[in-house]
Amino acid sequence: MGGAAATERRARRATFIAEVLRRLDFSVQVYGDVVSARLQKYPRATIAHTLTTMGRLTICARQLDMLMDSDDHVGGFVNAFLGEDYGPFSGG
């Protein structure tokens, strides 16, 4: 929530995070630039793998609002993340 980026850029980052979480079977709610998500009733191994993915998501999403300068970029970043292509997140 909040940050130095403009409101629309923070909203894009929230949309990216929400879409990734939905594809990981989380129940997701978005309120502006705040994302609330739950993952329930999965086997321990699935939860452990998801926690690792959540760590990667945290790292990739950290400055993502600075890279996504249009709504059209959100889907590409979602697909890159889920495809384990982390290159686009470096900004280079």
DSSP characters for 37-68? EE--S--HHHHHHHHHHHHHHHHHHTTHHHH-
Look at residue 1 and tell me if it is in a domain.
no
Look at residue 2 and tell me if it is in a domain.
no
Model pTM score: 0.87
Mean of the pLDDT values across residues 66-88? 92
Domain that holds residue 21: 7-90
Predicted pLDDT at 83: 96
Look at residue 75 and tell me if it is in a domain.
yes
Mean pLDDT for all residues in the chain: 89
Number of domain units in the chain:
1
Look at residue 33 and tell me if it is in a domain.
yes
pLDDT at 2 > cutoff 60: no
Q: pLDDT band at 86, cuts 50/70/90?
A: very high
